[in-house]
Chain A
């Protein structure tokens, strides 16, 4: 419990910053909904002028964007990017910081097994992500209810947020793997940005490629918002792959972590 609490305290400031960023971003863009729908014709005309590749890359779903949840899915596309950066950064840093900041000797010579250390840190990271997503979900619900006002599907709203949570978990677990695999990580944020935007770029390429299998390569495309809006459900195969990536990443991270040598400071 002590490592868990220590990690929650250590990550409190940055987690609050990410959360405020996401809430402000969400509320800000949700507030534009009325303006957007009032000027619908002009906006649609402008958006249709963008090449399809550009539309896809930036989360523009022209067919749905005029609906409350279609518009909200567009806003959430960017929230997803912020959440992915948060998840990835948390995953990369939470284990590797002990080696980077040379505190591993202190922690690992205490009566705590490596599996316990990893589980405590993982629990703390998951707690942060769950709480962030929960607060974001509630505040977004309020902003969508009171600002957008139009009727919307609560189920779709919930599924969209659930998809953000799962993608963030995927990035957290990939971050864990990178964090234990790489030696002497100097800057977690540069690794985070490289990986997240790498997957983002694959995502842009994936929707442009005719082969749907390309979507398996990036977590950004596991939850297609058009599909969620239309079917009020997730695509099972991508959901399973996403869960699989989380489990495999965490199991491999565990195996590496319990067997790795901690270099001298």
Chain B
């Protein structure tokens, strides 16, 4: 059984009187891709910045690789790659100088991997940082965050600024790193991103961790999206059974969310004259709204 790479115990952070996060506890296992989701201001970045020792907890503790993040930040950082949401580097430096400077902090020789990543990201290393677009700065961030082949990758809203093609390439890269053994903590408010990557998610709201669930279980335990197209008009009340919600009727099309005994549902559907039927897993957006509504 894989050990924990990250352990967060009762983490609370206040900025003066403003709430950061309150009593957050969770673990991330080795080899896991953990999605940390919630809207902006929910506490995702506060948690990540505490793990990285950029800010200090009001109470509680965090460990990475079994080491206290407050006591051993430099030791921990040797095997952590961090890609922040907004990338800022030394404007006067050329990309290659920045990457060389970044590499100089690590004991590993990361030249080979750096060249691979530069090629993959199609990065012009001779440009100055100040001349780079937002997307290209992000690419530099990805290369500098991954070139030392870290055991733990921490991504805070990592895809902002990347075009769809690069986003896909980036996701593939993260999956590749994960397959090689890296653990990933991935924060995002773009639920689709987390859905594509994560094995497990934590949902955070107003500073509290409101749900911690395996991605598959989360899908299973939550609603199915049902869309029925009938050749005869459908009466919405026909499906008013336990576990249905969010009805939308559009002519002969009825869609709703369902969580309950699937046999009950199919029994009712079978009595209708169906033209088209779709029963699908909800996307994370639906799950997310479900939890948000329930916890509100």
A102, A104, A106, A265, most chain B CB atoms within 10 A: A106
Residue of A nearest to B107 (CB): A111
> Is A2 interfacial (CB-CB < 8 Å)?
yes
The 0/1 profile, CB within 8 Å of B marked 1, for residues 86-116 of chain A is: 0000000000000001111110111111101
What's the dominant secondary structure at chain A's contact region? loop
Q: Are B54 and A108 in contact (CB under 8 A)?
A: yes
Which parts of B98-156 form the interface with A (CB within 8 Å)? 101-102, 104-106, 144
Q: Are A259 and B74 in contact (CB under 8 A)?
A: no
Q: Are B88 and A110 in contact (CB under 8 A)?
A: no
Q: Which residues does chain B contribute within 8 Å of A101, judged by CB atoms?
A: 88, 90-91
CA distance A125 to B106 in the complex (A): 24
Q: Which residues does chain B contribute within 8 Å of A264, judged by CB atoms?
A: 45, 49
Q: Are A113 and B88 in contact (CB under 8 A)?
A: no
Which parts of A210-252 form the interface with B (CB within 8 Å)? none
Residue of A nearest to B15 (CB): A261
Q: Are B88 and A109 in contact (CB under 8 A)?
A: no
B147: min CB distance to chain A, Å: 12
Q: Which residues does chain B contribute within 8 Å of A259, judged by CB atoms?
A: 56
CA distance A104 to B84 in the complex (A): 12
- Within 8 Å by CB of B74, from A6, A106, A113, A265, lies A113
Q: Are A108 and B84 in contact (CB under 8 A)?
A: no
Q: Are B77 and A110 in contact (CB under 8 A)?
A: yes
Known: A111-B77, A112-B105, A264-B45. A105 touches B55 (CB 8 A): no
Q: Are A262 and B49 in contact (CB under 8 A)?
A: yes
Q: Which residues does chain A contribute within 8 Å of B88, judged by CB atoms?
A: 101-103, 105-106, 265
Q: How many residues does chain A have at the interface if contact means C-beta atoms less than 8 Å apart?
A: 22
> Is B26 interfacial (CB-CB < 8 Å)?
no
CA distance A36 to B27 in the complex (A): 78
Q: Which residues does chain A contribute within 8 Å of B42, judged by CB atoms?
A: none
B90: min CB distance to chain A, Å: 6
CA distance A108 to B73 in the complex (A): 9
Q: Are A262 and B55 in contact (CB under 8 A)?
A: yes
The 0/1 profile, CB within 8 Å of A marked 1, for residues 54-91 of chain B is: 11100000000000000001110110101010101111
A9: min CB distance to chain B, Å: 9
CA distance A262 to B56 in the complex (A): 9
CA distance A79 to B53 in the complex (A): 42
Inter-chain pairs besides A108-B54, A261-B15, A265-B86, 8 sampled, C-beta below 8 Å = A101-B90, A101-B91, A102-B86, A106-B89, A106-B102, A109-B82, A261-B55, A262-B49
